[in-house]
Amino acid sequence: MGDKPYTKIPIAECGEPLAPIPPAFLRLAPHPYQSLGAPYGRASPFYLRLGVIAALERAQAFLEPYGWQLAIFDAYRPIAVQQFMVAHTFTALCQERGYDSQQLEPAIATEIWQQVYQFWAVPSSDPKEPPPHSTGAAVDLTLADQAGHPLDMGGAIDEVSERSFPDFYDRHPDQINAACFAQRRQILYQAMSDAGFQRHPNEWWHFSLGDQLWAWQTQQQTHQRDIIARYGRVDF
């Protein structure tokens, strides 16, 4: 149910270390998963691989003429946190629909799990199939003004709905402020893609560089089948 095509991409771990995201970057606080009690242990959600941080700095520079900056929502995520958040999202969706998550008909449970895995990666402990955030190569972020106020992007990060698809407002120009939201999403995408990132197909906020998802998307775009991942799961 949660199988993703990118998990079959080979990984040649380059050994690049995790490092703190520099304080020059705006962090959205309080961190939502930590506030829920997600089990980070000694780990921090504001860590990335060194090469990914360097690319993030290039994306930040791209935004300077707009008077905007990147606002970091979440980055490194241990497997235990991925498991916690997947379970939390499933329970939350059940509650939204008026279901008891402990007493679901199999067909309904399958439908809700499919919605969860449309946006969330499988919390696999298999080192050949790590969730993108557990590699330290994926980051969830948005745009903010220079005063640190996040811009309205037409949908919340982690929202399980069609509004999360990057091109939602291009496909629905009749929505209120559709042109504004579409433009902001495009500028965020341009800043990140120019720096080497790939955007998650279903999430306007998720970008990665060097992990399996990045390699798979790069293969799709370039038709070069020899592109592989350089970042696998990293344990803090």
Q: Which amino acid makes up residue 202? A: N
Question: For residues 104 and 15, is the Cβ–Cβ distance under 8 A?
Answer: no
Helix (H) or strand (E) holding 60: helix 50-63
- Run of H or E including 20: strand 18-20
At 86, list the tokens.
């997947």
Catalytic pick among 16, 105, 111, 203: 203
Q: Other C-beta atoms within 10 Å of 229: how many?
A: 25
Return the number of other C-beta atoms located less than 10 Å from residue 160's C-beta. 18
Q: How many Å apart are CA 218 and CA 223, to the nearest integer?
A: 8
Decide if 187 contacts 143 (C-beta within 8 A): yes
Q: Is 203 a catalytic site residue?
A: yes
Structural tokens at position 106: 């199999």
For residue 236, give the amino acid letter. Answer: F
Which active-site residues does the annotation give?
203
